């Protein structure tokens, strides 16, 4: 059931989070198409914004965060969320919007390739889903706040650093096992305790999550 709240219509829910559409969306559609009658382009505009924010929302859920709302407005969208995430998880949340746009672009390209869809305004729809979509993706990935690129691009150095830590711990563990290999556990009994090995694994887990910080309700774009 739809309800009006501060200019928003709640049209659905993502898990328990409301998906809301602002009253300015129709105005944004008309301005986007330069005040022309283009229902296909209007629909594509709406789905691009909604899909982008749902991409953020899905990544928030995968990072065990809490999605507070997914908002579509005439000038863009917003995914409000909170939670405790690592640097890598925060970057993945930022990538979620662009990845959702990429998925929509691929689906439309496939539909065009196999001539799978036909409806009034289809080619206007496809044009926005491809050309405008690519333009928005490129703008969103600029490493400038508040665009997604500011949080998205640090993913790669963070992954490289995690891989280096993993290799370092692996070498340390291998050296320890060569010096003092643990005796095999008796059949049906727990493994023989190895304090040094347990210490190495404990530090590995601690370092992997040391960048986890609580995040207050946050806004996507």
Regarding whether 164 and 143 lie in a shared domain, the answer is: no
DSSP E strands in 47-192: the ranges are 66-73, 76-85
When pLDDT is cut at 50, 70 and 90, the band that residue 220 belongs to is: very low
**What distance in Å separates the CA atoms of residue 60 and residue 219, rounded to the nearest whole number?**
12
**What distance in Å separates the CA atoms of residue 72 and residue 139, rounded to the nearest whole number?**
18
Regarding whether 162 and 143 lie in a shared domain, the answer is: no
Q: What's the structural domain count of the chain?
A: 2
What pLDDT shows up at residue 1?
A: 40
Regarding whether 164 and 141 lie in a shared domain, the answer is: no
Classify strands 8-14 and 4-5 as parallel, antiparallel or unpaired.
antiparallel
Is residue 63 within 8 A of residue 85, CB to CB? The reply is yes
pLDDT of residue 184 exceeding 90, the answer is no
Regarding whether 49 and 131 lie in a shared domain, the answer is: yes
Is residue 197 within 8 A of residue 177, CB to CB? The reply is yes
Is residue 209 within 8 A of residue 86, CB to CB? The reply is yes
Regarding whether 172 and 143 lie in a shared domain, the answer is: no
Is residue 6 within 8 A of residue 86, CB to CB? The reply is no
Regarding whether 34 and 102 lie in a shared domain, the answer is: yes
Is residue 71 within 8 A of residue 57, CB to CB? The reply is no
Domain extent, residue 12, equals 4-155+214-219
Regarding whether 125 and 61 lie in a shared domain, the answer is: yes
Regarding whether 48 and 120 lie in a shared domain, the answer is: yes
Regarding whether 62 and 25 lie in a shared domain, the answer is: yes
Regarding whether 129 and 110 lie in a shared domain, the answer is: yes
pLDDT of residue 219 exceeding 50, the answer is no
Regarding whether 189 and 137 lie in a shared domain, the answer is: no
Regarding whether 162 and 136 lie in a shared domain, the answer is: no
pLDDT in tens, 58-104: 999 999 999 999 999 998 999 999 988 888 899 999 999 999 999 99
What pLDDT shows up at residue 104?
A: 97
Residue (of 4, 24, 25, 2) closest to 12 by Cα position: 2
pLDDT in tens, 117-138: 788 889 999 999 999 999 999 9
**What distance in Å separates the CA atoms of residue 105 and residue 128, rounded to the nearest whole number?**
10
């Amino acid at each position: 059931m739809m309800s009006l709240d501060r200019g928003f219509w709640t049209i659905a829910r993502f898990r328990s989070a409301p998906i809301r559409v602002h009253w300015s969306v129709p105005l944004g559609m008309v301005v986007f198409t330069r005040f022309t009658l283009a229902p296909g382009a209007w629909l594509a505009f709406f789905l691009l914004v909604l899909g982008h924010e749902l991409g953020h929302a899905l990544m928030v859920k995968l990072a065990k965060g809490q999605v507070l709302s997914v908002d579509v407005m005439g000038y863009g969208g917003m995914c409000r969320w909170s939670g405790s995430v690592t640097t890598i998880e925060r970057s993945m949340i930022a990538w979620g919007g662009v990845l959702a746009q990429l998925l929509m672009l691929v689906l439309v390209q496939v539909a065009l390739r196999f001539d799978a869809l036909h409806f009034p305004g289809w080619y206007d729809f496809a044009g926005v889903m491809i050309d405008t979509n690519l333009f928005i993706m490129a703008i969103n990935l600029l490493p400038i706040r508040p665009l997604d690129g500011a949080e998205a691009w640090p993913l790669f150095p963070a992954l490289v650093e995690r891989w280096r830590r993993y290799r370092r711990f692996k070498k340390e563990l291998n050296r320890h096992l060569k010096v003092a290999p643990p005796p095999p556990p008796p059949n049906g009994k727990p493994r023989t305790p190895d304090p040094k090995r347990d210490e190495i694994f404990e530090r590995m887990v601690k370092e992997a999550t040391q960048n986890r910080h609580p995040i207050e309700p946050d806004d996507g774009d």
